[in-house]
Amino acid sequence: MNISGRWRVLCASHWSLANANVVCRQLGCGVAISTPRGPHLVEGNDQISTARFHCSGAEAFLWSCPVTVLGGPDCSHGNTASVICSGNQTQVLPQCNDSVSEPVGSAASEESAPYCSGEGPTGQKTLFITPSMGRQLRLVDGGGPCAGRVEIMDQDSWGTICDDSWDLDDARVVCRQLGCGEALNATRSAHFGAGSGPIWLDDLNCAGNESHVWNCPSQGWGKHDCRHKQDAGVICSEFLALRMVSEDQQCAGWLEVFYNGTWGSVCRSPMEDITVSMICRQLGCGNSGSLNSSVALREGSRPQWVDGIQCQKTDTSLWQCPSDPWNYTSCSPKEEVYISCAGDLLFLCLSQLCRMSLV
Ligand SMILES: *[C@@H]1O[C@H](CO)[C@@H](O)[C@H](O)[C@H]1NC(C)=O
Ligand SMILES: *[C@@H]1O[C@H](CO)[C@@H](O)[C@H](O)[C@H]1NC(C)=O
Ligand SMILES: *[C@@H]1O[C@H](CO)[C@@H](O)[C@H](O)[C@H]1NC(C)=O
Ligand SMILES: *[C@@H]1O[C@H](CO)[C@@H](O)[C@H](O)[C@H]1NC(C)=O
Ligand SMILES: *[C@@H]1O[C@H](CO)[C@@H](O)[C@H](O)[C@H]1NC(C)=O
Ligand SMILES: *[C@@H]1O[C@H](CO)[C@@H](O)[C@H](O)[C@H]1NC(C)=O
Ligand SMILES: *[C@@H]1O[C@H](CO)[C@@H](O)[C@H](O)[C@H]1NC(C)=O
């Protein structure tokens, strides 16, 4: 990917088939067949981008997908993202046996579900694209791309999954498919609100290693005895949130980030003005702030999740700022950051700005 005039390879951790699909479409190369693992040839000094994309698969460009950079892993040169595309095939050939791609009664874990293959006229392996290639997955109303109500797009409609026998193994497939890491919770009873439209799947029984959630055994596509108040949801380890912790102030306090299911602190070396401003803006606390180093050491213990955050002018949220990798002990407790933002939620609430920052 060309980032600021420089080509970089992408890291394979969190790389998904949905991301790969967007890449293939963007390049006019059909759909993604697979994302082979293993070492790939990379020029010695090529920089590796640790950006993690969370595409649903429908996006026209990779850079339209939600992206996280903060806390990205150190990526070794053997671990770069890759994809094999189908090539520009627009024909659906009749030899294709559609039933292979249907969850109904098929084997528990068909690896390359959206496609079936056979020998082409020239003896080459030919890929046939079945109707289910149009399916997409997303998480809704969870406050980010890696938590929320599970929704699947099929036949031009977004629908949901019923929570009968919904568990962590099912959630695991969803999180992996979205490049969102590990599954932390499989939520039931419309925890993230009730959806609308069809209920596509019920009694899902994933082993956990399937490549797509619709490959898991179930009642069958569209078969269910549920209502939307039973919509299933997930929280994945890559779900991120931000808050200030203080006894009496809303726009000053200890900065905390939610990662891997736990609130932890942020370390302050080095933290430039541009990063502090980004944080204050994201919290709806004005356009600037300062580090406050005259506060006493904080009580209690928690992870020190991240250090070395360096936002740049082009970043649009803290999640896009580069930093050191997530680490349970990124710094000592006395290096946890306390920020005082210039804005004040109460003051802002009296002005027009408040409404903008609260919606
Ligand atoms: C793919 O093939 C179709 C039909 O042959 C053609 O109309 C289209 O322009 C091709 N796309 C690319 C990117 O080559
Ligand atoms: C399609 O595959 C299913 C399951 O593998 C099989 O039962 C069926 O006979 C196949 N149909 C054709 C037309 O090959
Ligand atoms: C998933 O795991 C089971 C057993 O643990 C195995 O039999 C099956 O082949 C695996 N499926 C895939 C798609 O890796
Ligand atoms: C997620 O699971 C953990 C552990 O089971 C639990 O403590 C927590 O309350 C759950 N969170 C939600 C939002 O369900
Ligand atoms: C996230 O949590 C899981 C278990 O809860 C743990 O195994 C894993 O190491 C944690 N990851 C990080 C980066 O702390
Ligand atoms: C730093 O925080 C303390 C405790 O909240 C506060 O009394 C002090 O005014 C703050 N200093 C600055 C420069 O914001
Ligand atoms: C986490 O940080 C500690 C020092 O704070 C370091 O020794 C360790 O290697 C780091 N772990 C990872 C996975 O980067």
- With the most atoms of ligand 5 within 8 angstroms of its CB, the residue from 237, 240, 258, 305 to mutate is 237
pLDDT of residue 353: 52
pLDDT of residue 13: 85
Do residues 209 and 254 both lie within one domain?
no
Do residues 226 and 247 both lie within one domain?
no
Please enumerate in sequence order all residues whose Cβ is within 8 A of that of 347, keeping only pairs 6 or more positions apart, or say none.
none
State the total domains in the chain. 3
Tokens of 156: 């031009």
Which atom of ligand 6 sits closest to the CA of residue 249?
Answer: 5
Backbone dihedral angles phi then psi of residue 159, each to the nearest 5 degrees: -135, -175
pLDDT of residue 109: 25
Do residues 202 and 249 both lie within one domain?
no
pLDDT of residue 39: 63
Task: Identify whether 125 is part of a domain.
Answer: no
What value, to the nearest 5°, has the Cα angle with vertex 245 and ends 241 and 250? 95
Task: Identify whether 107 is part of a domain.
Answer: no
Q: Report d(CA 85, CA 91) in Å as an integer.
A: 15
Distance 176 CA to ligand 7 centre (A): 25
Q: Report d(CA 142, CA 18) in Å as an integer.
A: 20
CB-ligand 1 contact for 90 (6 Å cutoff): yes
Specify the residue for token string 């939620």: 345
Do residues 214 and 150 both lie within one domain?
yes
Domain boundary among 214, 236, 258: 236
Question: Residue 147: nearest ligand to its CA?
Answer: 4
CB-ligand 1 contact for 88 (6 Å cutoff): yes
Domain boundary among 236, 270, 290: 236
Do residues 262 and 226 both lie within one domain?
no
pLDDT of residue 250: 87
Task: Identify whether 122 is part of a domain.
Answer: no
Do residues 84 and 141 both lie within one domain?
no
Q: Report d(CA 11, CA 129) in Å as an integer.
A: 28
Tokens of 311: 């936002």
pLDDT of residue 340: 94
* Whether 127 contacts 93, CB under 8 Å: no
Task: Identify whether 54 is part of a domain.
Answer: yes
Do residues 153 and 208 both lie within one domain?
yes
Distance 237 CA to ligand 7 centre (A): 19
Domain encompassing residue 305: 241-357
Q: Which residues of 54-93 are buried (b: 16+ CB within 10 A; e: fewer)?
A: bbbbbbeebeebbbbbbbbeebeeebbbbbebbeeeeeee
Please enumerate in sequence order all residues whose Cβ is within 8 A of that of 44, keeping only pairs 6 or more positions apart, or say none.
none
pLDDT of residue 222: 92
Question: Residue 332: nearest ligand to its CA?
Answer: 7
Do residues 324 and 279 both lie within one domain?
yes
CB-ligand 6 contact for 294 (6 Å cutoff): yes
Q: Report d(CA 209, CA 147) in Å as an integer.
A: 20
Do residues 333 and 295 both lie within one domain?
yes
pLDDT of residue 317: 93
Do residues 304 and 254 both lie within one domain?
yes
Task: Identify whether 62 is part of a domain.
Answer: yes
pTM, entire model? 0.80
Pocket of ligand 3 from Cβ distances under 6 Å: 109, 111, 207, 209-210
pLDDT of residue 211: 84
Task: Identify whether 196 is part of a domain.
Answer: yes
Alpha-carbon dihedral angle through residues 257, 247, 251, 290, given to the nearest 10 degrees? -80
Tokens of 12: 């394979």
Specify the residue for token string 């499989």: 186
pLDDT in tens, the chain (359 residues): 888 788 888 988 889 888 998 999 899 888 888 888 766 655 666 678 889 999 988 888 999 999 999 999 888 767 888 898 888 765 443 333 333 333 322 222 223 334 444 444 444 444 545 444 578 899 999 999 999 999 999 888 999 999 999 999 999 999 999 989 999 999 999 999 999 999 999 999 999 988 889 989 999 999 999 999 999 999 999 999 999 999 888 899 999 999 999 999 999 988 999 999 999 999 999 999 999 888 888 888 999 999 999 999 989 999 999 999 999 999 999 999 999 998 765 554 555 554 445 43
CB-ligand 1 contact for 300 (6 Å cutoff): no
Residue 350 buriedness (CB in 10 A; 0-12 / 13-18 / 19+): exposed
Do residues 253 and 350 both lie within one domain?
yes
Length of the chain: 359
Pocket of ligand 5 from Cβ distances under 6 Å: 237, 260, 326, 328
CB-ligand 6 contact for 340 (6 Å cutoff): yes
Q: Answer positive or negative: Cα dihedral of 19, 317, 49, 312.
A: positive
Task: Identify whether 127 is part of a domain.
Answer: no
CB-ligand 2 contact for 97 (6 Å cutoff): yes
Do residues 260 and 352 both lie within one domain?
yes
Which amino acid residue places its CA nearest to atom 6 of ligand 5? 260
Domain boundary among 187, 206, 236: 236
- Distance from the first to the final alpha carbon of the chain: 33
CATH code (residue 176): 3.10.250.10
Task: Identify whether 129 is part of a domain.
Answer: no
Residue 256 buriedness (CB in 10 A; 0-12 / 13-18 / 19+): buried
CB-ligand 2 contact for 95 (6 Å cutoff): no
Distance 344 CA to ligand 6 centre (A): 14
pLDDT of residue 236: 97
